[in-house]
Amino acid sequence: MPNLLLFGYGNPGRGDDALGPRLIERVESLALAQVTCLVDMQLLIEHATDLSGFDQILFVDADMSCNEPFEFSPVDAKKDESYTSHAITPATLLFIYQQIYQRQAPPAFLLRIRGYYFELGDLLSQQADINLDAAVRHVQQWYLQPFNPMSH
């Protein structure tokens, strides 16, 4: 069983933007072996050190433009336009990890859960909650798959 990091990010005070942290909360309650959960409002350069020691990483975020109920895709390390001190992408975070540690980043994936309402003070929408349920089921299935580090 690989050592997994599940990293959900988003703003819980902005309705469906809470999907990343909410998924992490639900998965944490399952107490899956060798799974470490991390939540923050956004990805920061400093999070590169949090990626160390894991065999695989799953980033989880809300997205208002992805397909319903979610999209799951691999993430490759690359420097992109988000390379600033605030709010970077998973790809850039992996790139920074490689710069710091001078080695390949662990295989990583991005789970984007479809959200609809992101205004300050919004509550999680009913459709986003349905999408969240589907995403949690997907993470459980993904967790049970045999780990093959060469498949990334």
Strands (E), the chain: 4-9, 35-40, 56-63, 70-75, 108-114
pTM attached to this predicted model: 0.92
Domains of the chain, CATH where assigned:
4-151 (3.40.50.1450)
Residue-level pLDDT, tens digit, the chain, 152 residues: 789 999 999 999 999 999 999 999 999 999 889 999 999 999 999 999 999 999 999 999 999 999 999 999 999 999 876 555 557 999 999 999 999 999 999 999 999 999 999 999 999 999 999 999 999 999 999 998 877 554 44
Yes or no: say if 49 and 62 are a contact pair by the CB < 8 Å rule.
no
Instruction: For residue 92, count CB atoms less than 10 angstroms from its CB and return exposed for 0-12, middle for 13-18, buried for 19 or more.
Output: buried
